[in-house]
Amino acid sequence: MTSDCVIAVDVGGTSVKAAVVDERGAAIAPVSVPTPRGAERVADEIAALVDELADAAHARELTPVALGVVTPGLVDEDEGTVLLAGNLGWQDVPMRALVEKRSTLPVAFGHDVRAGGLAEAVLGAGRGAGDHLFVAIGTGVAGAVMLGGTAYGGGGYAGELGHIVVEPDGHACACGGRGCLEAVASARAIARRYAERAGEPVAAAEVAARAVAGDGHAVAVWDAAVAGLVEALAAYLCVLAPETIVVGGGLATAGEQLLGPLRARLSERLTIQRVPRVVPAELGERAGCLGAGLLAWRTAGREVRP
Ligand SMILES: [Zn+2]
């Protein structure tokens, strides 16, 4: 007897991750390939991955019933378009239509961080958390506003936590503003600010390690990142008062080195606001792809039961 499954694809700035996702939300036969340049070529690559994964599914007596695709940037899920994705060089790309043209499966289309937030809510650290915030701190900083079991999209513009100004007149941000959280606390910003002070280019993970070892420049850069996060999260807490904040993305692998000071300084900073639980994400790099799978299951009219 065969069971149904979906195919999930997470398009990132450097790689495209894809997998078969079964009805319990498990990823099967995951693959990762470099992201081609240009939306048409990305859509071609997605079609090739879907063929490959459909074969992998059939070999396990699974039948794909839907396809979920997520991308970064300003994503309008309702229109199926990527309004802007800086690291892909895309503007006003009708991504859902490009994928549908190449697929016989019904297509769900979404935003990588909102999908990651959904995956953490259903399968990871957000389980049972009710309304909460998922924040991904990686090359950039973005959030998923989780309300009523779904990620609020705001026509593609919601969740841009990375562009809350935390240092007025601070560093220039890729968005055209100054002093945004993303220009202070993203992995890219941490690496750049350390290089400016110490004259040595190292990755954010190395800055974190040097901060632990007591390197003064690293401590200052790391502290500024935590302070920026506290400011941005405090603003969010004033408006939406989530009980839980799930912290994911590459920088969250620093674990308690990030979350410990974040919790301590957040509770010092807050006055009348509800103090949230701050917990690490559980799904890591797989969150976006699993979220694409959950969106596909919803398109097929089914909910995943882990
Ligand atoms: Zn910005």
CATH number of the domain enclosing 64: 3.30.420.40
Provide Rg for the chain, Cα atoms. 19
Ligand 1: distance of its center to the CA of 140 in Å?
A: 10
In a 10 Å sphere around its CB, with 0-12 CB exposed, 13-18 middle and 19+ buried, how is residue 199 labelled? exposed
Ligand 1: distance of its center to the CA of 225 in Å?
A: 15
- Specify if 261 maps to a domain: yes
One domain for residues 133 and 111: no
Ligand 1: distance of its center to the CA of 204 in Å?
A: 19
Ligand 1: distance of its center to the CA of 21 in Å?
A: 34
Q: Which two three-digit tokens encode residue 128? A: 């049972």
Total domains present in the chain: 2
Ligand 1: distance of its center to the CA of 237 in Å?
A: 20
- Specify if 123 maps to a domain: no
One domain for residues 102 and 137: no
Ligand 1: distance of its center to the CA of 127 in Å?
A: 30
Write out the residues surrounding ion ligand 1, Cβ under 5 A. Answer: 163, 173, 175, 177, 180
Ligand 1: distance of its center to the CA of 299 in Å?
A: 33
* 216 Cβ contact partners less than 8 Å away, ≥ 6 residues apart: none
One domain for residues 150 and 237: yes
Ligand 1: distance of its center to the CA of 160 in Å?
A: 9
Ligand 1: distance of its center to the CA of 131 in Å?
A: 26
- Specify if 305 maps to a domain: no
Q: 102, 79, 138, 123: which is closest to 9 by C-alpha?
A: 102
One domain for residues 111 and 55: yes
Beta strands in the chain (DSSP E): 3-11, 15-21, 27-34, 62-71, 74-76, 81-85, 90-93, 107-111, 132-137, 141-147, 150-152, 244-248, 277-280
- Specify if 124 maps to a domain: no
Ligand 1: distance of its center to the CA of 297 in Å?
A: 33
**pLDDT per residue of the chain (306 residues) written in tens, 0 to 9:** 689 999 999 999 889 999 999 999 999 999 999 999 999 999 999 999 999 999 999 999 999 999 999 999 999 999 999 999 988 999 999 999 999 999 999 999 999 999 999 999 999 999 999 899 999 998 889 999 999 989 999 999 999 999 999 999 999 998 999 999 999 999 999 999 999 999 999 999 999 999 999 999 999 999 999 999 999 999 999 999 999 999 999 898 889 999 999 999 999 999 999 999 999 999 999 999 999 999 999 999 998 988
One domain for residues 17 and 97: yes
Which secondary-structure segment (H or E) carries 210?
A: helix 204-212
One domain for residues 138 and 96: no
Ligand 1: distance of its center to the CA of 218 in Å?
A: 23
Ligand 1: distance of its center to the CA of 258 in Å?
A: 22
- Specify if 61 maps to a domain: yes
Domain membership of residue 172 as a residue range: 129-281
Ligand 1: distance of its center to the CA of 26 in Å?
A: 35
